[in-house]
Structure 1
Amino acid sequence: MTLPQQLPLPLPVRAALGREDYFVSGSNALAVALLDGWQSWPAGKLILVGPAGAGKTHLAHVWAADCGATILPAAALPQVDIPDLAEGPVCIEDVPQIAGDRPAEEALFHLHNLALAQHQPLLLTAQTAPKHWQLSLPDLCSRMEGTQTATLPEPDDALLAAVLAKLLADRHCVPAPDVIPYLLRHMRRSFGMAQKVAAALDAGALGRPKGMTRTLAREILLAVDPRA
C-alpha cells in the first residue's frame, strides 16, 4: 500500500524574548550593562540604538520584565492616556516613525516630561541616533538629542552564531551541525542578513528529506547574498 505523501506545513514563528534567550557577547555587552543599570540612567531615560534585527525589542522585553514597564510603538501614543502611562516605567519603540506626526510627537513630549517629573524610567528605541530622526517639534528634538544612548553594533562571530541559532530555533528548525559554522565563514555579518538567511533556510528545508544541510545553506547564500 502506498502511503499518501505528507505535505510540509510551515510552523508559526514565535520569538523567544526572555533574558535566558539573549546572548551577550563583546559587541553588545556595554548596551546590556547600561540597560541592567537602569536605576542610574541620567535623568532616568535611555535610547537604545541598533540596526534592524539587533535585538532591541528583545532587550526591551527583558528590561520591561525587570522593572514592570509598558512597551508601546511610538505610533500608538496619540491613542493612549499619557498621564496614566507615565505612572510607571515605559518603553517606546521605533521613535523615528513618528517624525512629522505632530500629535504623536506632542504625546511623546508630554510623556517624556511627565515620566521625568514622576521619576519613572523611560526607554526609547530606534535604528539611528536622535540627530537623524527629523523630528518636527524643536523641544522634543532637543530632549531626545540630550538623552544618553546605548548602541547595539553589528554582531561579532560569537553573537552572529547565537543569533542564527535563535532565529532558526524560533522557526522550529534544527540545522545540521556544520550549517551555522559554514554560514559564519561565508555570509555577511549583519543582523538583517541573518534574518534573511534564517527565513530562506526555513522555506528551503520544507519537504527536503535531509532537512537543513550545508548544501542547502550554500544554495541559500548564493540566492540571498550573491557576494558571499
Structure 2
Amino acid sequence: MTARPSPPDQMRLPLKSDLPEGAEGFVVSDSNRAAHEALADWPNLIGGVMAVHGPEGAGKSRLGQIWAERVGATALHGAEAALIDPLELEGRPVLLDRARDVDDETLFHLINLAQTPGGALLLISREPPSAWSTALPDLRSRLDSVRTIAVEAPDDAVLAAMLDARFAERGIRPAKDVVPYLLRRIDRSAAAAAEVVERLDDLHRPVTRALARTVVEGPPESGALFE
C-alpha cells in the first residue's frame, strides 16, 4: 500500500530545521527594546555590572547569550559559578544566568572583579538585584547600585516569533490564522509556545485553526485543555 503524502499545509520534515541561534534570530519589540539597546554597546569602555530581569520565558537568557557571544564573555549558570576560581575571570566579561541562585560570597567576588580593567558582569534573573536578600552589608550596597533593565512578558511580535520558531523546528506549516489565534489564548511565555506546538504536533494532523481550538479550548463536550 502506497503511503499518502502529507497535506500541503502540514509538510513534515525528517529532522528539525536549523534555526538562527544568534542575534539574527532575535525579535526586538517594545517588550525587550530597552534591554536590547542597553546591551548593544556595553561594556564598551565603562565595564561594571548590569542586570537584566523579568518574568520567566521573556527572553532574558537569550539576550544574555547574544551579549556573551558578541563580547566573548565567560557564561556561568547559577550555583556552578562557585566552582570556578574568581581570579581566573579577572579582566574578562562574565555572563551570570540564574544569578539569584549564586551564594553571597561568590557574587561579591564577581561584582568586585567586574570593576577591574576589561571586566564586566551581566546578571540575569527574574527579580532585580535590589530585591535580593543578603546577609552581607557590603554586598547589599553593591546590589542596590547595580544598573537594572527590565524585560517584559513577550508582546505579540515576540510571542509570534516564538511560535513560528517552534513550528519551524518541527517542520510544520500552520494555516495562516493559527498563530494570530494562539496569540490571544496562550500564556505569554516561551514555555507556553513550546507546549502548544508540541501538543499540536502530537496529533499528526494539518495544523488549522480548528485543530488549535481543540488543543487550547478542548472539544465542546470535554472542556479546555489549557487554562
Q: What's the TM-score, normalizing by structure 1?
A: 0.81
CA distances 1:196-216 after superposition (whole Å, capped 9, x unpaired): 243233233225232x22122
**CA displacement at 1:219 relative to structure 2:** 2.0
Work out the CA distance in 1 between the residues paired with 2:52 and 2:165.
21
The code of the aligned residue for 1:204 comes to L
Equivalent position of 2:210 in the other structure: 215
Equivalent position of 1:134 in the other structure: 133
Contact 1:201/1:216, CA 8 A, preserved across alignment: no
Equivalent position of 2:200 in the other structure: 204
**CA displacement at 1:10 relative to structure 2:** 10
Distance 1:219 1:116, change over 3 A: same
Give the match's secondary structure for 1:198: helix
Equivalent position of 1:124 in the other structure: 123
Contact 1:197/1:221, CA 8 A, preserved across alignment: no
Bigger helix share: 1
Work out the CA distance in 2 between the residues paired with 1:225 and 1:170.
22
The code of the aligned residue for 1:196 comes to A
Aligned-pair Cα RMSD in Å:
2.9
Matched, 1:30 2:25: no
Work out the CA distance in 1 between the residues paired with 2:88 and 2:195.
39
The code of the aligned residue for 2:111 comes to H
Distance 1:148 1:178, change over 3 A: same
Equivalent position of 2:180 in the other structure: 181
CA distances 1:170-216 after superposition (whole Å, capped 9, x unpaired): 454432221101112x325622xx52243233233225232x22122
| Number of residue-to-residue matches in the alignment | 215
Work out the CA distance in 1 between the residues paired with 2:44 and 2:166.
32
4+ runs deviating over 6 angstroms:
8-15
Distance 1:13 1:70, change over 3 A: farther
Equivalent position of 1:146 in the other structure: 145
Identity percentage of aligned residues: 37
In structure 1, runs of 5+ residues without a counterpart are 99-103
Work out the CA distance in 1 between the residues paired with 2:42 and 2:23.
15
Work out the CA distance in 2 between the residues paired with 1:159 and 1:66.
22
CA distances 1:104-160 after superposition (whole Å, capped 9, x unpaired): 321121121122123412100001112332233332232122101111112222222
Of the three residues 51, 61, 67, the one matched with 2:65 is 61
Q: What's the TM-score, normalizing by structure 2?
A: 0.81
Give the match's secondary structure for 1:136: coil
Contact 2:51/2:149, CA 8 A, preserved across alignment: yes
Of the three residues 180, 192, 195, the one matched with 2:191 is 195
**CA displacement at 1:12 relative to structure 2:** 7.4
Distance 1:166 1:141, change over 3 A: farther
Distance 1:171 1:51, change over 3 A: farther
Contact 1:51/1:152, CA 8 A, preserved across alignment: yes
Give the match's secondary structure for 1:149: strand
The code of the aligned residue for 2:213 comes to R
Work out the CA distance in 2 between the residues paired with 1:197 and 1:39.
32
**CA displacement at 1:55 relative to structure 2:** 0.9
The code of the aligned residue for 1:199 comes to E
Work out the CA distance in 1 between the residues paired with 2:193 and 2:169.
13
Work out the CA distance in 2 between the residues paired with 1:201 and 1:114.
43
Contact 1:10/1:206, CA 8 A, preserved across alignment: no
Distance 1:213 1:123, change over 3 A: same
Equivalent position of 1:80 in the other structure: 84
